[in-house]
């Protein structure tokens, strides 16, 4: 049984150095602003963090297990359009009528 590596800032930077990559280069390659990956490491840019994980070939949830809340597409069940429509508030005729002044 192998233990999962702890991906803190130092470990991420060391892996980037080992692979000859830079945070700015990864951000540019992903079409993000230059500091997106630097912000991603500290939890301020999910797209930056996703770009780092992709560039290093490590699953996002393994690299950042607690840094970002789970998003809509991070697993689990998703709500269909039909479910969302059924849960929306029904408007009455008075809500939809315009008042004449």
CATH number at residue 39: 1.10.260
> Is 2 a residue whose pLDDT tops 50?
no
pLDDT tens digit string along 56-96?
999 998 998 887 776 666 555 545 455 555 555 555 555 55
In the block, which residue shows the tokens 């008075």? 94
For residues 37 and 27, the answer to whether their CB atoms sit within 8 Å is yes
Per-position b or e across 47-70, b if 16+ CB within 10 A of its CB: bbbbbbbebbebebeebbeeebee
pLDDT, averaged across the chain: 79
Domain total of the chain: 1
> Is the pTM of the predicted complex or chain greater than 0.85?
no
pLDDT tens digit string along 13-37?
999 999 999 999 999 999 999 999 9
In the block, which residue shows the tokens 């699953």? 59
Q: Could you list the residue range(s) of the whole structural domain that residue 34 is in?
A: 1-64
- Cα(20)–Cα(14) distance, rounded to whole angstroms? 10
101 within some domain: no
98 within some domain: no
Tell me 29's DSSP state: H
């Amino acid at each position: 049984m192998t233990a999962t590596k702890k991906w803190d800032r130092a470990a991420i930077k060391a892996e980037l150095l080992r692979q000859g990559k830079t945070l700015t280069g990864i951000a540019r390659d992903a079409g993000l602003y230059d500091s997106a990956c630097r912000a991603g490491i500290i939890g301020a840019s999910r797209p930056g963090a996703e770009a780092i994980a992709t560039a290093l070939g490590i699953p996002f949830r393994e690299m950042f297990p607690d840094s970002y809340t789970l998003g809509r597409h991070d697993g689990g069940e998703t709500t269909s359009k039909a479910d969302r429509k059924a849960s929306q508030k029904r408007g009455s005729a008075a809500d939809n009528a315009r008042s004449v002044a």
